[in-house]
Amino acid sequence: MLEILQPDGSLAGEAPFSVDETKRLYAAMVSARTYDTKGTALQKQGRLATYASFEGQEAAQVGGVSALRADDWVVATYRDAAAMWMQGYPWANLFLGRTGDERGGSPPEGVNVLPPSITVGAHMIHAVGLAWGENHLGRDRVAMTFFGDGATSEGDFHEAMNFAGVFHTPVVFLCQNNQYAISTPRHRQTASETIAQKADAYGMPGLQVDGNDLFAVGAAAAEAVTRARAGGGPTLIEAVTFRVGPHTTADDPGRYRDESEEVEWRQRDPIDRVRRYLEAAGEWTAEWNAQLEAAASAEIEVAIGQAEALEPLGPGEIFDAMFETKTPQLDRQRGILMGGPDE
């Protein structure tokens, strides 16, 4: 398992980022944590549908995306808001989606990030197709796809990995092994010793990294992205991390795991670790941190405001994006909904 930044903030290898870059990524993780905390709180207030916390997984997501170019693709899940945002998906869209509004799935033009996949497993092959398509169109974009340990059990994971291997597509598979798929622990998900070793079955390199280590994830992602862009094909990265919170706000982890696990993993918090590193380098102060938190909080409150200011889809608008042009059938159905006769 690749480890660079130790829990105490010391280095066990070469830092892949300059101090400035590290500070920028630290700030991103702080923003992500702020979003996450607010997400859980808003759900409790009934302002969001369910919410899926990614607390503890910030380094895996921010570190992964740190290796991407702005026009690369990200194809991720309901738990990957930090990764999506890092690649340009607005917080407002993420909130909007969580309120239960389709327009959350529509990031601005130029942001190459698909709406979060709710079905587990199916989206990885989309990244393969995207990377393949970009390649075909003569562009050197890479696609990075995020998924969990549970997702590796779906048949679609296998088909995606296999296609990527056979067609040598420029994709990075980034598995956040956060030890649980809802209630199912990692060791009941697969009898494979590691998830990284599954890469071998597809003729691609697989790398296990400490997922709570921003530097390890960043270094592995950079290597994979560089290789992919250079025509070297796909890579599987297993970022070993932990879902500190519940599966979603509808879940009660007390039913299936001991709280001590959470306590233990909180010790390995990915943000604290970078803080210690920066602090030791004299680059972290409580004031700076407070500024970051305040800025993030303000920015995210604005996003919440934007999301909540949007009126729900108006009467009949649910028919408007089924096709480019509505079929006569949809037109008629819209007519019925709008109060016409049921014909």
Identify residues 131-150 at the interface with ligand TPP (CB under 6 A): 147-150
Do the beta carbons of residue 28 and residue 63 sit within 8 Å? no
Residues 166-225 that bind Mg ion (CB under 5 A): 178, 181
329: Cα within 13 Å, side-chain hemisphere: 2
In the stretch 64-83, what mask flags binding to ligand TPP with x, by CB under 6 A?
A: ---------------x----
Residues 193-252 that bind other proteins (CB under 8 A): 250-252
170 token code pair? 């420029």
Q: Measured between alpha carbons, how far is 46 from 256 in angstroms, rounded to an integer?
A: 26
In the stretch 209-238, what mask flags binding to ligand TPP with x, by CB under 6 A?
A: ------------------------------
Residues 198-217 that bind a second copy (CB under 8 A): 198, 200-204
87: Cα within 13 Å, side-chain hemisphere: 31
Q: Measured between alpha carbons, how far is 122 from 165 in angstroms, rounded to an integer?
A: 17
* Other beta carbons less than 10 A from residue 1's beta carbon: 14
Strands (E), 76-158: 143-148
In the stretch 96-135, what mask flags binding to other proteins with x, by CB under 8 A?
A: -x-xxxxx-xxx-x----xx--xxxxxx-xxxxxxxxxx-
Residues 132-171 that bind a second copy (CB under 8 A): 153-159, 162, 165-166, 168
Q: Measured between alpha carbons, how far is 185 from 187 in angstroms, rounded to an integer?
A: 6
Q: Which does 283 bind (CB under 5 to 8 A by kind): Mg ion, other proteins, ligand TPP, none?
A: none
Going 154 to 155 to 161 to 163, the CA torsion angle's sign is negative
Is 243 catalytic? The answer is yes
Q: Answer yes or no whether residue 178 interacts with ligand TPP by CB under 6 A.
A: yes
Q: Measured between alpha carbons, how far is 178 from 224 in angstroms, rounded to an integer?
A: 21
Q: Measured between alpha carbons, how far is 343 from 333 in angstroms, rounded to an integer?
A: 8
Instruction: Provide the minimum distance between the beta carbon of 55 and ligand TPP in the complex, in angstroms, as a whole number.
Output: 12
Closest to a second copy by CB, 26 vs 202, is 202
Q: Answer yes or no whether residue 118 interacts with ligand TPP by CB under 6 A.
A: yes
Residue selected from 56, 115, 116, 148 as contacting Mg ion according to rule CB under 5 A = 148
**Strand-pair partners of 175:** 147, 238
Q: Measured between alpha carbons, how far is 281 from 156 in angstroms, rounded to an integer?
A: 45
Instruction: Provide the minimum distance between the beta carbon of 127 and ligand TPP in the complex, in angstroms, as a whole number.
Output: 15
Do the beta carbons of residue 11 and residue 5 sit within 8 Å? yes
Closest to ligand TPP by CB, 57 vs 87, is 57
**SS3 assignment, position 294:** helix
Q: Measured between alpha carbons, how far is 272 from 283 in angstroms, rounded to an integer?
A: 14
Which helix or strand (DSSP H or E) is residue 67 part of? none
Residue selected from 59, 82, 92, 120 as contacting ligand TPP according to rule CB under 6 A = 120
Instruction: Provide the minimum distance between the beta carbon of 242 and ligand TPP in the complex, in angstroms, as a whole number.
Output: 10
**Active-site residue, selected from the candidate residues 69, 256, 266, 332:** 256
Compute, in degrees rounded to 10, the torsion defined by CA atoms 297, 303, 306, 311: -110
Instruction: Provide the minimum distance between the beta carbon of 134 and other proteins in the complex, in angstroms, as a whole number.
Output: 5
Q: Answer yes or no whether residue 243 interacts with ligand TPP by CB under 6 A.
A: yes
Part in contact with ligand TPP (CB under 6 A); list of ranges 173-181, 211-219, 232-240, 333-341: 173-181
Catalytic residue annotation: 243, 247, 256
Q: Summarize as ranges the residues that interact with Mg ion (CB under 5 A).
A: 148-150, 178, 181
Q: Summarize as ranges the residues that interact with ligand TPP (CB under 6 A).
A: 79, 118-121, 147-151, 178, 180-182, 243, 247
